[in-house]
Structure 1
Amino acid sequence: MPLASKIFTGYRALGYVSNHVPLAIRYQEKTKEHYVITSVGKSFHTYNCSKLGITDISDRHEDDITCLVANDRQVFTASKNVIRAFHRGKQVIRTYEGHQRNVHLLLPFADHLISVDEDSCVKIWHIKTAELYLEIGFSNSTFQVTSLVHPVTYLNKILFGSKQGTMQLWNLKSNKLIYSFTGWKSKITVLQQAPAVDVIGIGLEDGRIIVHNIRYDETIVKFSQNWGAVTTISFRSDGHPIMITGSAPGHIVLWDLEQKRIKCQVRDAHRSSVSGMYCLLSEPLMVTSSGDNTLKVWIFDMPDGGPRLLRQREGHSAPPVKIQHYGENGQNILSAGQDSTLRSFSIVHDKYNKSLGSALFHKKRLKQPNLTKEDIKMPPITAFAAEPRRESDWDNILACHRGRRMATTWSYLRSTMGKYKFDHFKRSRDRENHHDTTATAVEVTSCGNFGLIGYSSGHVDMYNLESGLYRGSYGTPTAHNCAIRGVVVDAVNQVTVTGGADGTLRFWKFKAKQMLHELKLDCFISKMILHRESAMLAVSLDDLSVVVIDMETKIVIRVFSGHHHQITDMTFSPDARWLITSSMDSLIRTWDLPSGKLIDCFEVDTPVSSLSMSPTGEFIATSHVDDIGIYLWSNKTLYEHVSLQALPDDFIPMLIENPSTCSKTHELDDEYSTEELDSLSSPYKSPEQISNELITLSLLPSSRWQNLLNLDIIRLRNKPKMPPKKLKAAPFFLPTIPGLKLKFASQKDAIENNKVASRISFGLKQNLTEFGKGLQNAETDDDFDNVLDNLKEMGPSSIDLELRGLAPSEGGSSQVLLQFVKMISHMLDKKQDFQLTQAYLGLFLQLHFNEISLNTELCEQLRLLYMKNSAIWEELQRQFSQTNCLIDYLRAAKF
């Protein structure tokens, strides 16, 4: 089956933490630690609550996860109408199928699992056998199930909440309705068991919170929040009578159940609805998650009893707009998102991720009352330039924002927004005429001292990043008479190139700001990038073509055409041999600059909004439209042989699925038996278990097989230099035994010697040895194993003698030779004793080359054996290359 891309393959996804699916909590008795589980689309992550370190990443689902729960042993997920049970938070061990609609509620209940679909069909499953125990049907018109809970100490009973605002208590063992609650005429969004027996916390869609005693059907206390529906409820269990609720806008409220009033509140705890909340048992800690891609741990140590943010993991809450590798080692990726934040993601480990903060107009105004971060937040970053050379001295990142004239500076080392904000027209006399002018392009020089800003009015300004002082403008008064689409500076600060929307490229002296040359392109310019080391400038045009210009000669050297939709981004490979482009038709193309041909093209799920290739050439990173993640694609040319021939004109790109947060190890449709489950939980695997996974070597000493092909040379080397001396003859009447030592023979020995001599003189043909007979009669795998065990016990000379005896001239036959080839094929199938297989096969071919060439059947068997052997060698070569690549990377990496 042909691969979709011969150069790139999916590696992993970055930036995913959580989504709108409520979190699940597990407590592991062995480690005495809580683990939180969050959904990230088609997979889920498991974190430890002590450090929020990721411990497990699940296999990839076919569809997005709609809900997940966990007990002390397993994790259960629902994806559409299929429910899956995961072992150790990774591998699927069981599936539960039977729902006709999508499942949206799950609840582990002792040895059973309760599931509810969108038609309010309730099914109870045996967890171990995956058999259906009971089914209860509700009508959505009268009782649409929206939540459920198992009241503590209520044996075999489940409480259901409905969209109509009523509740029902059912006994699952007898399949009977025990009691119906009148309700509160508002949709019940959440049911939560309180620390007290018989008490349930009920959250309603209209913002009311009811603490209800279901034993007597009495309301204990009522609360109301003005922020819309109650999304989640949790109770502290460390001795404080506190109930905590989450809301749709992301606020958290603490309610004092004894005094029946608000204890405190946390505004903007999350940027979107609080989807999950859990107070750890007997600890002053609380874990919350939200659809804003954040997971937070709070500790209750504030003077007013409120929570304080202890630790968090977060990613972009809105899709990234621009990404770029930072640094020479390629281990960090800068990403600017539509949430107006600038973040750095590490491809080595998630613990190195960090946020550079949100873009704010006036950060000091946050101290004013009734003023939130959203009120002073700047528009998202549309383009930025970074230079790590002077990061420890001053701000080293320059960014422009959507629809704003102002350009901002950022410090990567301090992980904060810089102190300078550049606006050319702020103090200009004609600032009234530039209300609609925006900053469209930015550039930071390779020395890190200067930043250049291009505007939609055609101005290009230069600023000193250390002092923030204005250092002049290009052109009189503007560099172009149209909007600036790109600004670049060469590696030695000698030439500046500006690109206008009208298709004009102008080359300027960097310091004197005098125009050196003007190049008119055939169409309007949309984007431009520069590879400083090679002085290659790539410019994308509105006619969907890309031109490559040599900055030294200032001429067009390559024109690439073939895009059918708008080009979104471009990037060069580190050696400037490839130009990689993306477009709105979801295609990623790789162009070879020396040949000027398209050498690779593949399709992704959604259009690429930005891409960047690492300075080491190991990965390309892509961000996509309406996707908050960043995807890494590994470069296969670094660890295996890849043919880089040009693609034909009728080439049809194939679709590659975006990589998940981990590699796919098991198919989700596979189910494991009890024995297989035990093997999954055990870390040890015997050689027989891994025979189909790895290639193993024999434990025999190398002297048994290493010199099989050199026995003739060894015999020649060990041949004595002087012939043996002839012994003095004994009297003729005393018979002797032939040999180097003088031995007298008895009359019986003399008779035997005469028989042997006479037998040799008659030239009788030799018979097969025990090894040859066993090989000739071998039919099953066990027979071949017995013959092989016999061969392993022999020394090199004995093996050579046995293999010579297989020839027809030595008492063997063509059938025995064919049997030996089948034995070698059997050894390759087992993937064991690999070095013995190669040694035996080499000696066999050396001894019987002439007989093999004359036998058609034997040649055909050897051809099949060659294909099998070549496949194993290719797999070994791939693993060796991949391992060497990984070792070289770890040697060069700086942790």
Structure 2
Amino acid sequence: GRSAAVSLFTIFGDHLIVTYEDNVVVIFVIATGAVHLTMEDFDANRFKIAAVLHPSTYVNKILFASTQGELQLWNIRSNKLIYSYKSFGSAVTCLTQSPAVDVVAVGLANGHIMLHDLRRDKTVLQFHQDGGPIRAASFRTDGAPILATTVALGTIALWHLDEAKLLATMTHCHASSLTTMEFVPGKPLLLTGGHDNAMKLWAFDAPDSAGRLLRHREGHAAPITHLRFYGTDFELLSASHDRTLRSFSVIRDERNRELSQGTLESQANKKGVPLSALRLPPILDFAVEMSREGEWSNLVTCHSGRDAACLWSTDSKKLADLKLAPDSKHTGNNVYATSVAMSGCGNFALVGRSNGSVVYYNVQSGRVRTVFRSKDGQAHGSAVTAVTVDAVGDTCLSASRDGVMKMWSLKTGKLRTKITFKAAVQKVELFRSSNIAAVVTADNVIRLFDLEVKRIVRSFKGHDARITDLAWFPDGKWIATTSMDLTIRVWDVVSGRLLSWVSVPDAPTSISINHTGEYLVTSHVDNVGMCLWINQSLYTSTMFAPLSPGMYGTQIEMGPPSVALPNSADPESTGATDSSADDSGPAQLDSELVTLSTLPRSRWLYLSRLEEIRHRNRAKEDVIRPRDAPFFLQTNPGVSMLRRRFNAASSSAITAVNVRASVDSFVLNRASFWASIEESSVAHIVCLAGQLSVVVELMDMLKSMGLSAIDLELRSLSEAHDGEQLGMFADFLVAMLAEKRDIELLQAYMDVFLSVSKGWLDFKSCPAFLLAAFLHTCTCPYLSKRSALPCHHRLIPRLLLLGTWPHHAAARVFGG
């Protein structure tokens, strides 16, 4: 609840000791979060807290170090100062407990390391490391008398305590300064972390040698500028200001790695320069195509200040030797590649440059295939900002800062269409399945350009600042955009309306969506990490209400715990329905319409073809039974059917006829299920009384069953008692058909029902069902294209083959 920022924190048993910037120490109880003690007796002018340590075996004692070079030992139980140690003459930067009781290592700003005995207030050993203040120190606890210290330059010094000398020095351990360092208890392993966003584990094979790198986990050391999902393994590529290109996996962290740029580490050691100085310049844009992965390079990048585009392989995760360089006619001073794209076949790459040239390359050979030129000599009059290629490799788009977008023929290099915008074009993203390009301009508008009709078909307005990136959803129905106005917005392509948007504290710089539309990842200003979002619309029934651009979005706090992309904006500010209410929509939009079910196709598509599937999947050889089975194995005489609850007492119609109260469940097997229906007459009474509550509940029970279970129940219907069970089920189907819901499910049930009841079913015994089935299939012929079930082209012939229609009825229906 304090307004001051946290400067230090230390775990002390069941308590958490937190030091704030205003020099106040608060001790919390970890289990409850309650404040145990608040220490406000420290004067920042005389004792500014710089480090905190709990000395080993010192019960209820905490050692505080200050920037004035002094140490104080406090009893946190009584909140009293026990002892003040003499000053070391320099600011204390770190405190570390040694394996010896009463001895701690004190790191100072002048580079000294003091091993001080707290009980005697005496310095035991003293070392000095060049390079600045001591950042961290750690003792080995596996028996070797070794102390490791590090300074701001990232150099680790190993000190032999028995001989009081420097044992070894480890240089270039991290790309930047180290922030923490700790030996693993009882093992010769050193864990280090630095400002380069890396953690490294070093192994010491011999007591008197330097450590070797055993394992490491790294991320970007600078903010991310560009990221894209690629392939089908939930992996993504990211480029950063730290001059690296990395591959990350959403599923498996061990697959995260940096794409190799060659033997830079050995070159850096020979030349004595940092590793970052030998890397390629920061990446401005990259494009990847997976159709030729493993055969040749499938990733192309353009870098700041370089005229040649680089080729990479995502299969081998390394830089290729081949470069896509311009010829002498299209090069010059201060000319560099600004945008790249790859063809869908993976054979060609398109490169746009700052002088307005656009060149089409062969990826395998690096040769120029096509150079696009206008009347003035170059493709554009200013720097190219975006290039893209259609799915079939026939057309490409290029855009420039002067607000001109051009459509070219890849085969002839001739100009097909030219579109001029009032503002500079910043980005173009093509959805290849529909040949619709999303064009972002400097006036903060997203326009959709149809390559087939060669005109703008949609425009999206609402962002208040520069749009940094956009991404298509896999089905092409939605577009996600990021902007410097601190928002992430989702737009509906069909309606041209805003669907949802969230506000984040840090401006998003890049966005990408994976091939299933399940994950969305964003990068943000001044953040070295990426934010992973989940698409809730894939897992819940969501009704999106169109929003106006002026409506406020949902405020999101970045950082752990992870947050999910909301389904819609804040209902209080948008007028949408309450998020806690059921947002699945009405069961039926209109009484004249039919509604499909939400079940997967696998739950009803092959219900009428189970016999074919069983015949295809039957064993080719008989199962070989073991000669002597163990005596303790149980054998079941039959298979117990799954019992399902059926709350028949909830219907008012059943209560009216005084159904026995003990009937509270249906057992879906050969006898008891239909015996329960016959005993309570549930289906028949509901159909007669017009009450659909129990019928709908029965439909829900059938939905929850598998294909084999449904087929078994329908084939187990008995023709006893003049086919009363068959008649009840026919009445059930008639009642559900009248509701015009779950149409494809009912057609699947009708197909099986007609096949098992053809010996009993006729026009006299069940006229309502036959007429309803016939009229339904005649009025719903379009369903045959979707379900491939016996609607209209299979159900009507089956009705005719039953031979149960009266002659006059058939003549009226089929025109004689």
Q: State if a TM-score over 0.5 links the two structures.
A: yes
Q: Is the CA contact (8 Å cut-off) linking 2:181 and 2:191 kept in structure 1?
A: yes
Candidates 397, 401, 421, aligned match of 1:521: 421
- The aligned amino acid for 1:373 is L
Query: 1:268, 1:287 → 2: CA distance?
Result: 15
Cα distance per residue 1:200-224 (max 9 Å; x no partner): 2111122222222333333333222
| 1:150 matches 2:54 | yes
Q: How does 1:520-539 map to 2 (within 5 A)?
A: 520-539=420-439
Cα deviation, residue 509, structure 1: 2.3
2:11 and 2:484 map into 1 onto residues whose CA distance is 45
Matched, 1:277 2:181: yes
Which residue of structure 1 lines up, in the alignment, with residue 170 of structure 2? 266
The runs of 5 or more residues in structure 2 that have no matched partner are 565-640, 663-674, 682-703, 705-816
Q: 1:469 to 1:242 in 2, by over 3 A?
A: farther
Which of residues 510, 513, 519 in structure 2 aligns to 1:610?
A: 510
Q: Is the 8 A contact 1:708 1:800 kept in 2?
A: no
8 Å CA contact 2:138–2:182 kept in 1: the answer is: yes
Structure 1 partner of 2:554: 654
Q: Which residue of 2 aligns with 1:450?
A: 348
Map of 1:349 onto structure 2: 252
Deviation at 1:536, TM superposition (A): 0.9
Which residue identity is paired with 1:379? P
Pairwise CA distance, 1:494: 1.4
What is residue 137 of structure 1 aligned with on the other side?
A: 41
Structure 1 unaligned spans of 5+: 1-79, 82-99, 665-699, 717-767, 773-794, 802-834, 836-895
Contact 1:119–1:139 (CA<8 Å) still a contact in 2?
no
Q: In the alignment, which residue of structure 2 is the partner of 1:118?
A: 21
Output the CA distance in 1 between the equivalents of 2:200 and 2:477. 45
Determine the structure 2 residue equivalent to 1:377: 279
Shift of 1:341: 1.4
Cα distance in 1 for partners of 2:166, 2:62 equals 30
- Aligned residue among 225, 229, 239 for 1:336: 239
**8 Å contact kept, 1:711–1:797:** no
Q: Considering only aligned residues, what root-mean-square deviation do their CA atoms show, in Å?
A: 3.8
Moved more, 543-552 or 461-470: 461-470
Measured against aligned partners, the alpha-carbon deviations of 1:348-372 in whole angstroms (never above 9, x if no partner) come to 2323322224x68977733523132
**Structure 2 vs 1, CA of residues 157 and 393 (structure 1 numbering), >3 Å: closer, same or farther?**
same
Bigger mean CA deviation after superposition, 340-349 or 210-219: 210-219
Out of 516, 533, 556, the position equivalent to 1:633 is: 533
How far the C-alpha of 1:522 sits from its partner, in A, is: 3.6
Asked if structure 2 preserves the Cα contact closer than 8 Å seen for 1:361 and 1:376, the reply is no
Which stretch shifts more, 122-131 or 142-151?
A: 122-131
Pair 1:466-2:364 in alignment: yes
Percent identity of paired positions between Structure 1 and Structure 2: 36
Opposite residue 300 of structure 1, the aligned amino acid is F
Alignment TM-score, normalising by the size of structure 1: 0.60
Please say if residues 618 and 634 of structure 1, whose CA atoms lie closer than 8 Å, have aligned partners that are also in contact: yes
Q: Are the aligned partners of 2:370 and 2:410 in contact in 1 as well (CA < 8 Å)?
A: no
Conserved in 2, the CA contact under 8 Å of 1:705 and 1:796?
A: no
Confirm or deny: 8 A CA contact 2:262 2:318 kept in the other structure.
no
Q: 2:334 aligns with which of 436, 444, 459?
A: 436
Partner residue, 1:221: 125
* Aligned twin of 1:234: 138
Q: Is the alpha carbon distance of 1:369 and 1:429 closer, same or farther for their aligned partners in structure 2, counting shifts above 3 Å?
A: same
Distance 1:173 1:571 in 2: 57
2:111/2:128 contact within 8 Å kept: yes
Where 1:389 maps in the other structure, the secondary structure is: coil
Aligned residue pair count: 592
Distance apart, 1:543 and its partner CA: 2.2
Partners of 2:404 and 2:311 in 1: how far apart? 28
Aligned AA (1:408)? C
Say which SS state the counterpart of residue 137 (structure 1) adopts.
coil
Distance 1:458 1:284 in 2: 58
Structure 1 residue 709, shift from structure 2 partner: 9.1
Q: Secondary structure at the match of 1:505?
A: strand
Q: CA contact under 8 A between 1:321 and 1:336: conserved in structure 2?
A: yes
Counterparts of 1:186-585 in structure 2 under 5 Å?
Answer: 186-301=90-205, 305-327=209-231, 329=232, 331-357=234-260, 365-366=267-268, 368-424=270-326, 428=328, 434-475=332-373, 477-585=377-485
Kept in 1, the 8 Å contact 2:244–2:279? The answer is: no
User: Using the alignment, how far apart are the partners of 1:702 and 1:267 within structure 2?
Assistant: 70
Query: Cα–Cα, structure 1 residues 184 and 546, in superposed 2: closer, same or farther, change >3 Å?
Result: same
Which AA in structure 2 matches 1:322? H
User: Which runs of structure 2 are paired with 1:755-834 in the superposition (5 Å)?
Assistant: none
> Contact 1:360 / 1:378 at 8 angstroms: preserved in 2?
no
Q: Classify the secondary structure of the residue corresponding to 1:158.
A: strand
Distance 1:512 1:142, change over 3 A: same
Q: 1:352 is matched by which residue type in structure 2?
A: R
**Conserved 8 A contact 2:382-2:401:** yes
Q: Which one of 495, 498, 502 corresponds to residue 598 of structure 1? A: 498
**Greater relative contact order structure (CA < 8 Å, 6+ sep):** 1
Q: 1:294 to 1:512 in 2, by over 3 A?
A: same
CA offset digits 1:547-603 (Å, max 9, x no partner): 222222322222333332211112222222223222211223333222333333332
What displacement does 1:440 show? 0.8
Change (3 A) 1:136 1:157: farther
* 8 Å CA contact retained: 2:357, 2:372: yes
Q: 1:244: how far off?
A: 0.8
Deviations 1:242-287 (A, max 9, x none): 1111222333222222333332222232334322221122211112
Change (3 A) 1:648 1:202: closer
d(CA) in 2 for partners of 1:450 and 1:304? 55
- Tell me the TM-score normalised to structure 2 length: 0.66
Alpha-carbon distance between aligned partners in 1 of 2:522 and 2:407, rounded to the nearest angstrom: 31
Superposed CA deviations along residues 689-740 of structure 1, whole A, max 9, x for unmatched, are xxxxxxxxxxx99598577799999xx9xxxxxxxxxxxxxxxxxxxxxxxx
Residue 334 of structure 2 aligns with an amino acid whose one-letter code is: D
SS of 1:390's equivalent in the other structure is: coil
1:457, distance to aligned residue in structure 2 (A)? 0.2
For residues 579 and 182 of structure 1, do their structure 2 counterparts lie closer, same or farther at Cα, with a shift above 3 Å needed? same
